[in-house]
């Protein structure tokens, strides 16, 4: 299951990643061998993006533009995709992250396109 948090911020993706690392108390590297680096480059994910692994979830911080962009959420230049194998877990986590981001002053909406 996949849920998205759409961040309405003028901060760049690197700054938002730094904020998430602090807010969620994430480790500096991912635990999966070969996937340790959080900051990545990929044409498939719109250039620079971040991959965070936490509690069996994958969180991808991506730019909400180009082929990956959601026109209905154009006011949110950054999207955090929360993916989980279990039902309900991704939604709960996405909503909790959005709440923490709002507390930090970053407006955020949660939705699921799946």
What residue ranges define each of the domains in the chain, with the CATH number in brackets?
A: 2-27+37-111 (3.30.310.180)
Tell me the CA end-to-end span of the chain in Å, nearest whole number: 7
Q: How do residues 97-111 score in pLDDT, each as one tens digit?
A: 999 999 999 999 999
Of the candidates 68, 71, 65, 12, the one whose C-alpha atom is nearest the C-alpha of residue 44 is: 68
24-52 mean pLDDT: 87
3-15 mean pLDDT: 94
Number of CB atoms found within 10 A of residue 11's CB: 14
What are the beta bridge partners of residue 49?
Answer: 40
Res. 114: pLDDT tops 70: no
């Amino acid at each position: 299951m996949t849920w998205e948090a759409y961040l309405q911020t003028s901060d760049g993706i690197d700054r938002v990643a730094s904020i998430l690392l602090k807010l969620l108390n994430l480790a500096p590297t991912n635990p999966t061998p070969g996937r340790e680096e959080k900051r990545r480059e990929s044409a498939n994910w719109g250039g620079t993006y971040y991959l965070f692994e936490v509690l069996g979830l994958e969180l991808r911080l991506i730019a909400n533009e180009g082929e990956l962009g959601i026109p209905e959420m154009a006011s949110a230049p950054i999207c955090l995709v929360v993916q989980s194998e279990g039902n309900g877990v991704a939604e709960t986590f996405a909503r909790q992250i959005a709440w923490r981001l709002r507390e930090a002053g970053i407006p955020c909406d949660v939705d699921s396109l799946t």
